[in-house]
Amino acid sequence: MNFKRIADAGDLKGKTALVRVDFNVPMDKGLVTDDTRLRSAVETVQTLRTQGAKVALLAHFGRPKGKRVAEMSLAPIAGAFAQVLRSNVSFVADCVGDHVKAAIADLRPAGVILLENTRFHAGEEAGDMDLAKEIASLGDLYVNDAFSAAHRRHVSTAVLAELLPAYAGCAMERELDALEKALGNPEKPVLAVVGGAKVSSKIDLLKNLVTQVDMLAIGGGMANTFLAARGRSVGKSLCEHDLADTAREIETIANQNRCEILLPVDLVVARDFAANAPHRTCGLDEVADHEMILDAGPQTVAALRAAMDSAKTLVWNGPLGAFELTPFDTATVAAAKAAAARAKAGKLVAVAGGGDTVAALNHAGVADDFTFVSTAGGAFLEWMEGKPLPGIDALKA
């Protein structure tokens, strides 16, 4: 996919860049508790500043639903970002209006200002063109650095790109380049690993992936639904028995597209869903009625490692078991370490994303060894589902 980058913007000296960032960060008592998203914005802001541009940051926080909510103001985040940026960041209590224009005009070249929560205006989430024109009048160019919000056609994530020269920020660049390597134009064979609790939340994802990849490994509670659809007993495990037909349909589509589906071949079961609960490893036909499947067994991990060894590209979303509970994190950790080792050795392009996935890879201590780990959540999933992302489409060259 060809998209416009900041390097394509030409001379920026004296211009004002409206930069959409993701500052929807975790807060506790007015303090930022995780500054990962703030740090991810630094490269874009510094790139623009070094070229002499003023930087006006657009962001949302929470879900104020078009109303001013004091607890959802971005004011405290201006100070937190200033610390991360190691430079002054001013703040203005709106994102439209003459006083906002005046505040931006007062900035020195390379100055940075954070505008108030765009979602305080109802028109933001509605993609209202009048609001978009008001915001667009504040700047000379638009930079989107918030992939996490790219699946929404909001004013600040997509509509502004229709009114101003539009470019991808540095974090957005990295995300899009990684996704292109993973599914857009991947080196084959491609292996997808999809885990998590429910098939119902990932039907579109699975139906798309089996038309795109060579192998699809399914784990977690989702695998139970597929095993049950094949006639296996899953005891009292989490299982969507009503989706048996859907599971069989996905397998049919996979067969039609020559995609091999990999399901667990052995299981770790327990009576109780609790850390360190008494457990045992068993075959597919050995799950008792009073037991639940909480992890994949060692033979399954070995099969997954073999698939990784034969793959050139890996896309991963979701854990293989109840990784929050020891020892039912074993399969997820072992598989993650195997993927990370191959990626670090340059033998595998390994791209992962989704909230539980990021937590699982951090838990395994291997997130930094993957080729790319996306923290975008919903946008990453919609990309895996093959759905259009308005914020990305608006940046296409």
Active site residues: 37, 198, 355, 378
How far CA 357 is from CA of 146, 230, 324, in Å, comes to 19, 27, 12
**Nearest CA among 212, 180, 181, 213 for reference residue 396:** 180
State the amino acid at position 388 in one-letter form. P
Number of H helices, E strands in the chain: 15, 17
Per residue, what are the HEC states of 260-296? EEECCCEEEEECCCCCCCCEEEEECCCCCCCCEEEEE
State the amino acid at position 348 in one-letter form. L
With residues binned 3-state (H G I as helix, E B as strand, rest as coil), the percentages for the chain, rounded to 5, are: 40, 20, 40
Q: For residue 237, how far is the Cα from the chain centroid?
A: 28
Please give the backbone phi and psi of residue 78, each rounded to the nearest 5 degrees, phi first. -60, -45
The angle subtended at Cα 61 by Cα 58 and Cα 67, nearest 5°, is: 95
- Is 254 in contact with 299 (CB distance < 8 Å)? no
Rg (C-alpha) for the chain, rounded Å, is: 23
- 264 preceded by cis ω (within 30°)? no
**Nearest CA among 165, 245, 195 for reference residue 360:** 195
